[in-house]
Chain A
């Protein structure tokens, strides 16, 4: 699992019931916009995420509807397990290299 995917999942797992749209997820994970949507598409494809259009009338609201994403019940369980197994380089204090890297 890539680091950006881990960051996305961590942010979604912070509150699994919360619905977020792509821009918000990217901002919370500190990722550029273009990298978030491919991750969301993959996670949605494997059933970890569900998405839906915001239930608003664009004319009434004066803005387009957003696409909201949230973790599915099985996705939340699977994401937690996957994150626990995932390799995550952490920089040690005073060290320029992450552990496990050459």
Chain B
């Protein structure tokens, strides 16, 4: 597959470690970081960390323009992924039973912690104690994630 050399993160045999310039080229761009953060925000918190890592694994080695294009489609279809994950989320049924206050958007948010998260975006979230609706605690924390 084209780009496999770049994906491997190494030059030819015995060529030594990558230079800073080469590493910068291979690392995700800021735009890609931002778009991945946006894409996973729609997902249930328990799945965010996994998909952040999965998306980083996939865009690695792409050109910056291709990274942005790839991540844009992830953002566009993130609701579909969230729905697919919700279907197997055991709390989904619980969230369907809505309190009347929640129907009026009067949620009772409590801060919860995702102990498996390694990034700030995925680590903390706020969840309604009544209907389990999730609101991010750090809405401006896009730049916090990334390898």
> Measuring CB to CB, which residues of chain A are less than 8 angstroms from any residue of chain B?
21-24, 27, 32-35, 37-39, 41-42, 45, 53-54, 58, 61-67
Contacts and interface: CB of A to CB of B under 8 A. Distances in A.
B7 A63 contact: yes
A63 B8 contact: yes
Contacts of B85: 41
B118 to A, nearest CB: 12
Interface of B: 1, 7-10, 17-18, 23, 26, 50-51, 53-54, 56-58, 60-61, 70, 73-78, 80-81, 83-85, 87-88, 147
A33 B54 contact: no
A33 B74 contact: yes
Contact of B77 (A23, A24, A35): A35
Contacts of A32: 73, 77
A34 B53 contact: no
Nearest to B85: A41
B54 A22 contact: yes
15 contacts: A21-B57, A23-B70, A35-B73, A37-B51, A37-B84, A45-B88, A61-B9, A62-B8, A62-B26, A63-B7, A63-B60, A64-B57, A65-B53, A66-B57, A66-B58
B53 A33 contact: no
Of A27, A33, A39, A65, the most chain B CB neighbours within 10 A belong to A33
B57 A63 contact: yes
B28 to A, nearest CB: 9
A59 B74 CA distance: 26
B97 to A, nearest CB: 21
Contacts of B23: 62
Contacts of A64: 53, 56-57, 60, 147
Nearest to B39: A34
Contacts of A39: 84
A9 B74 CA distance: 20
